């Protein structure tokens, strides 16, 4: 069995953002040489997420509004975590809702998606570099 590991670095210009990382993951699959297997994509930070959905700007706006209603950033004093001097408790909660990672099947050397599916990095405490792990296993 082959294994391949790569780190993708993401830095957003805003505190909250969604980035389509599908092209970078597809490039990793090609580099891996794996034709049949699995691809894990994992946000390696506890205030960021990786998820699969449609690449449609209205939907991304809806995600942002929904998450901000569930876990608003302000007032930061509402969160015990922020008593430590942090201001990102909301980002941890948003990550928990959107998920840590995705696993996608690789078939014939390509990511085996359903209609409209794409891989996204969700940032909830941005403006700094963060890593995404891509781990591929298979034959």
CATH number, domain containing residue 69? 2.60.120.460
The helix (H) or strand (E) run that includes residue 105 is strand 101-107
Tell me which residue range forms the domain holding 71. 2-138
d(CA 51, CA 125): 16
pLDDT on residue 98: 98
Q: CA-CA distances (angstroms) from residue 100 to 40, 48, 78?
A: 11, 8, 24
pLDDT in tens, 85-99: 999 999 999 999 999
Residue 61's pLDDT is 98
What pLDDT is stored for residue 138 in this prediction? 98
Closest CA to 57 of 17, 1, 4, 14: 17
The residues near 125 (Cβ < 8 Å, ≥ 6 apart) are: 15, 47, 48, 88, 91
Q: Which residues of the chain have pLDDT under 70?
A: none
- What integer pLDDT is reported at residue 18 of this predicted model? 97
Find the helix or strand (DSSP H, E) in which 98 lies. Answer: helix 89-98
| Structure tokens belonging to residue 91 | 């980002």
pLDDT of 116 reads 97
SS3 86: coil
DSSP state of 84: G
Position 130 scores a pLDDT of 97
Residue 126 CB coordination number (10 Å): 20
Q: What is the pTM of this model?
A: 0.96
Count structural domains, the chain. 1
């Amino acid at each position: 069995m082959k294994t391949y590991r790569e780190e993708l670095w993401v830095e957003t210009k805003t505190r909250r953002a969604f980035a389509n990382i599908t092209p970078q993951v597809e490039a990793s699959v090609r580099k891996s040489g794996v034709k049949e297997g699995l691809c894990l994509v994992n946000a390696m930070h506890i205030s960021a997420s990786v998820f699969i959905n449609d690449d449609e700007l209205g939907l991304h706006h809806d995600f942002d509004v929904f998450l901000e209603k569930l876990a608003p950033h302000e007032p930061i004093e509402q969160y015990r975590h922020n008593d430590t001097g942090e201001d990102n408790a909301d980002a941890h909660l948003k990550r928990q809702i959107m998920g840590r990672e995705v696993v996608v099947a690789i078939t014939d050397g390509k990511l085996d998606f359903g209609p409209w599916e794409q891989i996204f990095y969700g940032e909830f405490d941005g403006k700094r570099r963060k890593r995404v792990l891509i781990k591929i296993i298979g034959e």
